[in-house]
Amino acid sequence: GESVGLHLPTLSVQEGDNSIINCAYSNSASDYFIWYKQESGKGPQFIIDIRSNMDKRQGQRVTVLLNKTVKHLSLQIAATQPGDSAVYFCAENIDQAGTALIFGKGTTLSVSS
Amino acid sequence: EAEVAQSPRYKITEKSQAVAFWCDPISGHATLYWYRQILGQGPELLVQFQDESVVDDSQLPKDRFSAERLKGVDSTLKIQPAELGDSAMYLCASSKHGSGNTIYFGEGSWLTVV
């Protein structure tokens, strides 16, 4: 599968590969994180979230990993499909503080068949 | 599945004109957000409401932008006068209450100022 250690604006993979999208968050006080998928011309779609008391959370074909030590978040997509092609954003905020989400830089995932 | 409704989906307006966007959040969601997304960038918060009260409007250009949520349900974002640099997608989002709850976005309203 394709993986990157640092945030890259684009990621190209073959159908069936595993994809890893990385995100560095900014605020060490943030304790709630969400990954969104945004298709062209549409609003962000919720994929998966994780709280800071967890290191890993799994959904359907997706896994989010959180490393609080280095303020790093990753989204793993298993068996990537053409329909996964989109821009992926991570977002952070501070639980219970009433603050809004702050979005990171997006990564454009392109899946070729 | 409940959705955040926004209208219009697309708007073209001349600079110096007024434009308004409407949002109806998911039923029961007390917190409503307006974000602006410039092409190629992540969404940036303009204003956050808790029920009918503004929680955060620190990034709202108040000389030309206004937002209201009079009855704590639907909301309107207005721009007057529009400037060329306002061309962007305006996203509405809602959550049950405050942070730590999943935030759902609408499909957005595309604004082009000519």
A102–B41 C-beta distance less than 8 A: no
Positive or negative torsion for Cα A11, B101, B37, A82: positive
**pLDDT for res A104:** 86
Fill in the amino acid letter for B30: A
Q: What number of other Cβ atoms are within 10 A of residue B37's Cβ?
A: 22
**pLDDT for res A8:** 79
Interface test with A, best of B34, B46, B105, B109 (most A CBs within 10 A): B105
- The band of B2, judged by pLDDT with boundaries at 50, 70 and 90, is confident
A104–B106 C-beta distance less than 8 A: no
CA distances from A105 to A39, A94, B100 (A): 15, 18, 21
CB contacts, 8 Å: A43 with chain B:
4, 6, 91, 93, 105-108
Provide the number of CB pairs (under 8 Å) joining chain A to chain B. 64
Chain A residue with minimum CA distance to B5: A43
CB contacts, 8 Å: A42 with chain B:
107-108
> How close is the nearest chain B Cα to the Cα of A54, in Å?
14
> How close is the nearest chain B Cα to the Cα of A30, in Å?
10
**pLDDT for res B31:** 92
pLDDT for B9 beyond 50: yes
Q: What number of other Cβ atoms are within 10 A of residue A91's Cβ?
A: 24
When comparing pLDDT for B85 and A99, which is higher? B85
pLDDT for A99 beyond 80: no
A34–B103 C-beta distance less than 8 A: yes
Query: Which of A32, A46, A102 lies at the smallest CB-CB distance from B100?
Result: A32
When comparing pLDDT for B101 and A103, which is higher? A103
**pLDDT for res A73:** 93
Convert the pLDDT of each residue in A10-66 to its tens digit. Answer: 999 999 999 999 999 888 888 899 999 999 989 999 999 999 999 999 999 999 999
B44–A98 C-beta distance less than 8 A: no
A94–B104 C-beta distance less than 8 A: no
**pLDDT for res A29:** 87
* Window A:15-34, CB contacts with B under 8 Å: 32, 34
Q: What is the DSSP string of B35-97?
A: EEE-TTS--EEEEEEETTEEEE-TTS-TTTEEEE-TTSS-EEEEESS--GGG-EEEEEEEESS
When comparing pLDDT for A17 and A1, which is higher? A17
Q: Which is nearest to B32 in space by CA: B91, B100, B88, B80?
A: B91
Q: Which is nearest to B35 in space by CA: B47, B20, B49?
A: B47
Convert the pLDDT of each residue in B49-77 to its tens digit. Answer: 999 999 999 999 999 999 999 898 999 99
Pairing of strands B10-13, B109-113: parallel
- What distance separates the 2 farthest-apart alpha carbons in chain B? 39
**pLDDT for res A89:** 94
- The band of A5, judged by pLDDT with boundaries at 50, 70 and 90, is very low
Name, in order, each residue with C-beta under 8 angstroms of A56's C-beta and a sequence gap of 6 or more: A50, A63, A64, A65, A66
Q: What number of other Cβ atoms are within 10 A of residue B84's Cβ?
A: 9
CA distances from A4 to A8, A12, B21, B45, B83 (A): 7, 11, 39, 29, 39
The DSSP letter of residue A110 is: E
**pLDDT for res A6:** 52
**pLDDT for res A95:** 66
When comparing pLDDT for A61 and A4, which is higher? A61
When comparing pLDDT for B72 and A84, which is higher? A84
| pLDDT mean over B1-9 | 90
- The band of B40, judged by pLDDT with boundaries at 50, 70 and 90, is confident
**pLDDT for res B107:** 96
